[in-house]
Structure 1
Amino acid sequence: MPISSSPKARLALAAVAAFGTRPFAEVGVAELAADADVTTGALYHHFGSKLGLYAFVRDDVERRLLDRVEGALATAAGDEATARIVPAIVVGFDFAVREGFLHLLDAPPPGAEADRLVETLRSAAPTASPVLADILAAALRAAVHAVGAGADADDARDALQSLAVHGSADRPGRDF
């Protein structure tokens, strides 16, 4: 983030607050500029468009989410994917809810070629099913989305914590 008193930083802070609590389409350029005490021209100058500003703050917020998930993965006990990944996605969920980033983190980044959350989770369990990371990233985002739509955060958190599923008769010893 830029220095907090600069017009660019004020726009970024206003965007985090607005996009965190409301969907992209519900946030207007004039509102963002007014909340940052700048002109709409400043928004276009620094970010090119509302989407450019959104992408800037989305990237910053996602990086903060990934820092927490990576930290939780590094400290998680056990070798099984469930023992490492489920607690890490719960940490990510708690961060998104606590900071009010519900509408910023409830979907994959728009237009991105790679999904950094999926890549982070995949690196935590490289021998697990090739789609495990995709499914768990989607579960984290679905829980965040549910809270943003009015669901109880504790219920969504409990649902994430219940994701531990173990091998079946036809696939013994597999995690998930």
Structure 2
Amino acid sequence: MREWIPVSTSPRGRLVLAAAKEFGARPFDEVTVAELAAAAKVTTGALYHHFGSKLGLYTVVREDVERRLLDRMEGAMAATGPGPDHSAAVTSALLVGLDFAVRENFLRILGEPPQDTEPDRLAELLERSAAPSSASTPPLLGRLLAAAWRAALTAVAEGAEPAHARAALAAFRLHTL
């Protein structure tokens, strides 16, 4: 359950909304504290007061955006239903996730892997879903699928057509090992 729900008219809420927009469209290093504060119509001091740092704000926004992504992907897998090799469910989740990231313009924030200290929840979800009952699932399968999905987002952020990224992800087929 969420600890808080941002209210768009509060300084904290405005910062979260501005950060979601900026970090969604541009890499973390290209977004400045001054730009975030200006977009939220607050001072830089308000950003530091509420989040401690730009990284603190980024972490809050990323966790929220990632949770929304994973909820959609889990729903897509559940709606697809179980299959003998789970390929259709995983492919459906990858496509639903791509569509969400494109529609909401979260290409950059979701296209970047988590910080070194953060767990890769997307990779974990894909690992569990690729072959949930198989002891022979390759240990890196979730990480490889997550990396390919993030590469598709990055390609779209750099100008590739979303339809081409979608077709590439749809071409994935998992095989029972």
Which residue of the other structure, out of 9, 15, 20, is the alignment partner of 1:16? 20
The residue type paired with residue 14 of structure 2 is R
1:157 Cα offset (Å)? 0.6
Aligned to 1:88: 93
How far apart, in 2, do the equivalents of 1:113 and 1:9 lie? 23
2:156 counterpart of 1:117: no
1:58 Cα offset (Å)? 0.7
Aligned length: 168
Partner secondary structure for residue 16 of structure 1: helix
Aligned to 2:33: 29
How far apart, in 1, do the equivalents of 2:52 and 2:155 lie? 31
2:153 counterpart of 1:144: yes
CA offsets, 1:125-158, max 9 Å, x none? 2323322211111111110011011111100110
CA RMSD of aligned residues (A): 1.4
CA offsets, 1:34-63, max 9 Å, x none? 110110000000011111111110110000
Partner secondary structure for residue 111 of structure 2: coil
The structure whose residues are more often strand, as a share, is 1
Moved more, 57-66 or 104-113: 104-113
2:108 counterpart of 1:103: yes
How far apart, in 2, do the equivalents of 1:81 and 1:67 lie? 18
Rate the CA distance shift 1:165–1:119 in 2: closer, same or farther, 3 A. Answer: closer
1:95 Cα offset (Å)? 0.5
Partner secondary structure for residue 150 of structure 2: helix
Aligned to 2:59: 55
Partner secondary structure for residue 83 of structure 1: helix
How far apart, in 1, do the equivalents of 2:70 and 2:117 lie? 16
1:75 Cα offset (Å)? 1.3
Which residue of the other structure, out of 73, 77, 94, is the alignment partner of 2:77? 73
How far apart, in 1, do the equivalents of 2:174 and 2:51 lie? 44
CA offsets, 1:93-119, max 9 Å, x none? 110011100110002211334211111
Q: Percent identity?
A: 58
Aligned 8 A contact 2:85 2:174 in 1: no
Rate the CA distance shift 1:165–1:85 in 2: closer, same or farther, 3 A. Answer: closer
TM-score (norm 2): 0.90
Structure 1, unmatched stretches of 5+, are 167-173
TM-score (norm 1): 0.90
2:47 counterpart of 1:38: no
Partner secondary structure for residue 103 of structure 1: helix
